[in-house]
């Protein structure tokens, strides 16, 4: 089947973190024999459009000059809008460009998927005609709807629900929040059409090099904490690093980019804690890091605006690699981490809570091994190959074919589709 996928974020090159979970979602369907035609915003920087087997990526220009396209990618839409006034120029032109493209292409689609209810779910619902439409909603959708005046949020939520044949939420918290936005009479039907499932992960085999060699490769000399994340306020990294700044027996490897980098660099210069900012890390390097660190830490927090995490795929990647995870039960993280069962939770606002969790993982080796093993089993059930049939069921389509050897290859970087 040919499926249209509307999104505000998709990888700009192989290994790009932007929209990597949307790509995983699309690739899971492509390996089942479907063809995905992806409509996503054109990046500000000129770069060839990557192609993956079974996935046709079409970038949508929405502002000119191209350098004015600042709404998407980078730190993500919420942080772009917060920090860059130019980002506010893009939402309406992008919605218009996506609507025009859907009208042009929908006659050749058998089904529609939208990632992020605003604006993609609204557009898909309004223009789908009789096509099945699966709307996938993340924490950013819920936060945006909750921040709107109640009457506006209710109206938009109702349109998203009416325009979707199925709803997919990355956490129970997201589903509960969305249903609360709906008129009461609409909630039972929306609940009946809904699924709660975090985004999946791609399982990577353990590196061939032994752990000692991997640690030497990255220059790890102390008990090593690892974080894979965008460096944005909701991740809580400056606050967490400051809380452990006195620990000269620890080092913290932070892989990612974003507006918080300068604050982290300043902390690194003055901390006894060895803080190492690795920049963007992907592919084999990321896998090697996951198998060389001692614990994965994601110190996310709830922002004053009420924004919090969804269900971060980095947590599942760490679990799948057998790395013990330390994270607070905020947003959807608490649905992934059951403290002392699949990881360790801590109260982000409680003084010393993060340090106590780190110390436990340092000292309780047998407990750590037990929890990490249970977490790995849990994470392996979240791999994309296991989730693909659930995606098809939610969309109401049947698999077309089994994966071929060609579909496992890395994408080329050909020019965009016409």
Backbone angles phi, psi at 410, to 5 degrees: -65, 150
CA distance 235 to 239: 9
The answer, yes or no, to whether the previous bond of 197 is cis (omega within 30 of 0) is: no
Q: What is the pLDDT of residues 192-247, one digit of tens each?
A: 999 999 999 998 889 999 999 999 999 999 999 999 999 999 999 999 999 999 99
Q: What is the pLDDT of residues 307-351, one digit of tens each?
A: 899 899 999 999 999 999 999 999 899 999 988 899 999 988 888
Contact 281, 303 (CB under 8 A): no
CA distance 262 to 280: 15
Q: What integer pLDDT is reported at residue 402 of this predicted model?
A: 58
SS (H, E, C) 297-314: ECCCCCCCCCCCCCCCHH
Q: How confident is the model at residue 365 (pLDDT cuts 50, 70, 90)?
A: confident
409 has pLDDT over 50: no
* In the chain, % of residues over pLDDT 90: 84
What predicted TM-score, i.e. pTM, was given to this entire model? 0.91
81 has pLDDT over 70: yes
The average pLDDT across 66-85 equals: 93
Q: Concatenated DSSP letters for 189-234?
A: HHHHTEEE----B---PPPSS-HHHHHHHTT--SEEEEEES--SGG
Running DSSP on this structure, what letter comes out for residue 393? H
Structural domains of the chain, ranges and CATH numbers in brackets:
2-200+384-408 (3.40.50.2000), 211-380 (3.40.50.2000)
The mean pLDDT value of the chain amounts to 92
Nearest alpha-carbon partner for 308 in 113, 144, 91, 195: 144
Q: How confident is the model at residue 401 (pLDDT cuts 50, 70, 90)?
A: low
């Amino acid at each position: 089947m040919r499926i249209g996928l509307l999104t505000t974020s998709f990888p700009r090159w192989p290994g790009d973190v932007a929209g990597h979970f949307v790509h995983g979602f699309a690739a899971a369907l492509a390996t089942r024999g479907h063809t995905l035609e992806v409509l996503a915003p054109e990046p500000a920087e000129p770069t060839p459009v990557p192609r993956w087997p079974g996935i046709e990526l079409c970038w949508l220009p929405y502002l000119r000059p191209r350098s004015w396209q600042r709404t998407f990618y980078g730190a993500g839409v919420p942080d772009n809008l917060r920090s860059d006034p130019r980002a506010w120029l893009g939402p309406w032109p992008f919605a218009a460009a996506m609507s025009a493209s859907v009208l042009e292409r929908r006659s050749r689609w058998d089904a529609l998927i939208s990632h992020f209810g605003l604006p993609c779910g609204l557009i898909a619902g309004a223009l789908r005609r009789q096509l099945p439409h699966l709307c996938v909603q993340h924490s950013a959708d819920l936060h945006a709807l909750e921040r709107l005046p109640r009457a506006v949020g209710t109206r938009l939520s109702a349109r998203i629900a009416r325009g979707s044949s199925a709803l997919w939420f990355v956490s129970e918290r997201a589903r509960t929040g969305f249903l609360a936005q709906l008129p009461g009479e609409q909630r039972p039907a929306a609940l009946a059409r809904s699924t709660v499932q975090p985004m999946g992960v791609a399982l990577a085999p353990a590196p061939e090099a032994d752990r000692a060699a991997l640690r030497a490769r990255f220059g790890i000399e102390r008990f090593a904490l690892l974080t894979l994340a965008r460096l944005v306020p909701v991740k809580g990294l400056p606050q967490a690093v400051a809380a452990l700044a006195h620990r000269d027996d620890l080092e913290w490897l932070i892989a990612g980019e974003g507006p918080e980098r300068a604050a982290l660099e300043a902390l690194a210069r003055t901390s006894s804690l060895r803080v190492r900012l690795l920049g963007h890390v992907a592919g084999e390097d990321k896998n090697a890091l996951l198998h060389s660190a001692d614990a994965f830490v994601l110190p996310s927090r709830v922002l004053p605006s009420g924004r919090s995490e969804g269900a971060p795929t980095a947590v599942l990647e760490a679990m799948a690699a057998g790395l013990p995870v330390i994270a607070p039960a905020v947003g959807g993280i608490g649905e992934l981490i059951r403290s002392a069962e699949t990881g360790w939770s801590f109260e982000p606002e409680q003084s010393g809570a993060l340090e106590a969790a780190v110390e436990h993982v340092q000292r309780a080796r047998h407990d750590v091994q037990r929890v990490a093993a249970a977490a790995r089993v849990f994470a392996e059930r979240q791999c994309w190959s296991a989730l693909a049939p659930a995606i098809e069921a939610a969309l109401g389509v049947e698999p077309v074919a089994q994966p071929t050897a060609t579909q496992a290859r890395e994408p080329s970087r050909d020019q965009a589709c016409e």
